[in-house]
Amino acid sequence: MQGEGELQLQDQRLHCSCSALFTAVSLLCKPLCCSLPSAALPAAAEPPALNTENRFLADPTWLPGKNQEPRSRRKGDSLEDIDRALKHGYPSHLSHKLEDRRAQCLRHLSVDQKGKDNPASKNPTDGGKGTSVGPLSFGICPQAVVGFSPEKGRHLVAAESIAAGEVLLHDRPYSCVLIPGMEEVQGKGGRQDAEGGVEHRRCHRCLTETLSPVPCEGCSYTRYCSTSCQRDAWEEHHQWECSLGADLMVMGVMSQLALRVTLKAGLKNIQMAKEPIRNEHTEPESRDSKPPDPCASHYGDTYRSVFHLQHHLNRHSPCVRFLSAITIATLYLKLSKAGPPPASWDLSRPLQANSHPPDEEGGIGAAWNSELWLMGSVVLRHMLQLRCNAQAIITLQDTGAENSPVQSSREIRIATAMFPTLSLLNHSCCPNTSLAFSTGTHLSADFSESVAEMRSKASGVTVAVRAAKYISPGQEILHCYGPHSRRMATQERQRLLREQYYFLCQCEACTLQQQSEEEDGSEGRQQCSSVGGNPQSGLLCGKCKGSLNRSSEERGKGFICSQASCGHCVALSEVNQRLQEIKQDLKKAVDLMERERPGDSEKPKYEALRLLRRTQSPSALSLAETHPLQGELEDATARAYATMGDWSNAASHLERSAVAIGNQYGKESIELGQQLFKLAQLHFNGGARGPALSVIPMVRKLLCLHCGPQCEELQELQAMEDCLTA
């Protein structure tokens, strides 16, 4: 049996090999994304057919890394690549190699099919603890219903008791757009994407991350994970976007998303959405009564739900309305020259009389001008809706040097989307739900459909909304639009919500915190408090280590020690200066660790530790263990020790960081779960069997609560637990 040190070293080597292979494959596939005919390629460049073969050769089927796709899908990708290579003129004297590889793929797929038919072979490492993965059912759970009020609009209410962790709804975007230029990894010294941003490594339709993008045949910007996604996107919207790519980039993500929603809907759905809603149960004599408000009903994940989202036309500023109108007018002129209408815009169906624009000379005919006029008005409607109803799609990114033994991660926005059902949820600064996004396909081998059918049914972005706490019957189901009570002062939250969403938040957190902030002063709270609703400052006296409280006699000017025998006072300016010094040292230390490369000298690590220790030097005040800044310092210190392989010291500091995280975000928060997950990894790497096994159940509980039982971190936890208990 190998020792733990040897296993750890092998794991690190494997991680480095995986990272290096990922970068190599990205560079290898780079020429494939230039949609040039083979005759236009330079003499030294490989033709597209050979690039497609390279995609096949680079298939890392043996790597047990994260985000590993099912073997059946990878072999299906390879079969597609073989067909594309032969189609693009693969050299005849080498074609026998492709035929051999085709046979290998078909043989692997045959084995997978036999495994599917044998129940004993399903989930061999599951141990009876997991469940097979099946198609998601989208919509709202039976325990919740849609309500409506003039003040709140459509919203979701609990009809029955809902336990923490229960799934409230599954939804998929009606349409989405990748955010251009967003880097996978940002920061100095961080690992940069091979071509700059997520738009070069993710499918532009389903957002699946892929090593082998299939480019659009008309432009070199838009890329897809497969030919099926490429075909679907072309039919849905890209046949129009292709020639307008540069213009849409300038106009922005919101205008492009509004156009995609409109193109996908088509003329028939738009006309149906515009028709007045009739109540079938109304008595004949009351037919002349006022029809029901279409904005008061929910229509599932259909276009009608999207069309009737609130656009707040009367609340947008004149500047916003003017700029939106100018943008769509410019888009209208571009579209009028882009060619015939898409297939989803059936010209044979007559429009309402008020939808016809003035006659225009030239163009492509008065009939299409009528449809185009309607399209432009609907795109403008959706653009105004998106200001209040757009949803950012979030994923985690790794930071730090590529081959560093320690990796950190942070959330980034990769796309903007419009969700028909998720848009029902109203805001709270202390929400009772958690959102978990999933991009791409994560399927087991027990699907009977073909690879193409499997991908078309299961690929794409989904969001699961889970109850983060117990929700009683009649209680509204809420999520956070961004400003959270654990991260931001009340006045700042309410300002942001008024500017973008046009309402004054009166949630529980705002009601409870506003009075406290008015008493203590919002400036002092933002600078010195522990955030998260804790009335104490989170600062300690430099003399006696007692807590520092805001001075009642000199409100807004300083703090005084809570110990009567001490009575030490600290001026507000001194507090602000000390906190600024700590933040600067923390930033310098993190930058040093981010820039570190394998093989570098030990000097940056020790310099980072020196800066972090300096923050603990004696002064007129110090940070309590529950202060958020103290949590960041302990986390950075743990990271510094981990880069040196000192797992014991790293775990000790991370435990202190978890105390601050739990105080700031709550004992049931996903933030605490992520911190404890890192702690379990440190204990595992250090061979601390007992501490690791004691932390794993707490991590499993929090991750199941917020992310569900199928998340990748839980699979890694299970692997660690199996290794420690073997």
Mean pLDDT of 256-273: 92
Max avg pLDDT among 51-60, 395-404, 713-722 = 713-722
Residue with token string 């911190």: 675
Q: Which of 312, 298, 292, 334 is nearest to 381 (CA)?
A: 312
Measured from the Cβ of residue 404, the count of other Cβ atoms closer than 10 Å reads 25
What are the start-end ranges of the H helices in 390-458? 451-458
Q: What angle do CA 320, 335, 177 make, to 5 degrees?
A: 60
Identify the band that residue 8 occupies on the pLDDT scale cut at 50, 70 and 90.
very low
Q: Is the pLDDT of residue 75 over 80?
A: no
Lowest-confidence region among 74-78, 367-371, 470-474, 720-724: 74-78
Q: Are 209 and 188 in contact (CB under 8 A)?
A: no
Residue 486: its pLDDT value, please?
87
Mean pLDDT of 269-282: 69
The mean pLDDT of the chain is 75
More confident residue, 182 or 534: 182
Cα–Cα distance measured from residue 699 to residue 716, given in angstroms and rounded to the nearest whole number: 11
**Chain centroid offset of residue 701 CA:** 22
Q: Is the pLDDT of residue 257 over 90?
A: yes
pLDDT digits (tens, 9 = 90+) for 590-620: 888 877 665 566 788 888 899 998 888 777 6
454-to-258, 365, 387, 599, 701 alpha-carbon distances in Å: 28, 41, 34, 45, 32
Mean pLDDT of 148-167: 91
Residue 121: its pLDDT value, please?
39
Q: Is the pLDDT of residue 244 over 50?
A: yes
Residue 9: its pLDDT value, please?
36
Mean pLDDT of 484-501: 89
pLDDT digits (tens, 9 = 90+) for 184-200: 433 333 344 434 467 77
Retrieve residue 218's tokens.
Answer: 């008309």
**Chain centroid offset of residue 36 CA:** 33
Mean pLDDT of 100-115: 67
Q: Are 191 and 198 in contact (CB under 8 A)?
A: no
Q: Are 194 and 402 in contact (CB under 8 A)?
A: no
The greatest distance separating any two alpha carbons of the chain, rounded to the nearest whole angstrom, comes to 92
Residue 173: its pLDDT value, please?
93
Identify the band that residue 89 occupies on the pLDDT scale cut at 50, 70 and 90.
confident
302-to-47, 235, 306, 595 alpha-carbon distances in Å: 43, 19, 7, 48
Q: Are 52 and 88 in contact (CB under 8 A)?
A: yes
More confident residue, 89 or 517: 89
Residue 620: its pLDDT value, please?
65
Query: Residue 417 carries which DSSP code?
Result: E
Identify the band that residue 473 occupies on the pLDDT scale cut at 50, 70 and 90.
very high
pLDDT digits (tens, 9 = 90+) for 431-457: 999 999 988 644 333 333 344 444 444
Percent over 90 (pLDDT), the chain? 31
Lowest-confidence region among 194-208, 279-293, 541-555: 279-293
Max avg pLDDT among 88-102, 204-218, 321-335 = 321-335
Residue 694: its pLDDT value, please?
95
Residue 553: its pLDDT value, please?
57
pLDDT digits (tens, 9 = 90+) for 619-678: 767 888 999 999 999 999 999 999 888 999 999 999 999 999 999 999 999 999 999 999
Residue 201: its pLDDT value, please?
81
More confident residue, 514 or 491: 491
pLDDT digits (tens, 9 = 90+) for 113-123: 555 455 443 34
Mean pLDDT of 304-319: 90
Percent over 70 (pLDDT), the chain? 67
More confident residue, 65 or 609: 609
More confident residue, 304 or 287: 304
Q: Is the pLDDT of residue 469 over 90?
A: yes
Burial of 67 (0-12, 13-18, 19+ CB in 10 A): exposed
Q: Are 429 and 485 in contact (CB under 8 A)?
A: yes
Residue 590: its pLDDT value, please?
87
Retrieve residue 137's tokens.
Answer: 């059912």
Query: φ and ψ at 379, to 5 degrees?
Result: -60, -40
Lowest-confidence region among 229-233, 335-339, 552-556, 603-607: 552-556
Residue with token string 């991350």: 209
Residue 61: its pLDDT value, please?
28
Q: Is the pLDDT of residue 321 over 50?
A: yes
Give, to the nearest 10 degrees, the angle between helix 628-643 and helix 647-665. Answer: 160
Residue 527: its pLDDT value, please?
40
Lowest-confidence region among 122-131, 340-349, 408-417, 612-621: 122-131
Name the strand (E) or helix (H) holding 293.
none
Q: Is the pLDDT of residue 69 over 50?
A: no
Q: Is the pLDDT of residue 54 over 80?
A: no
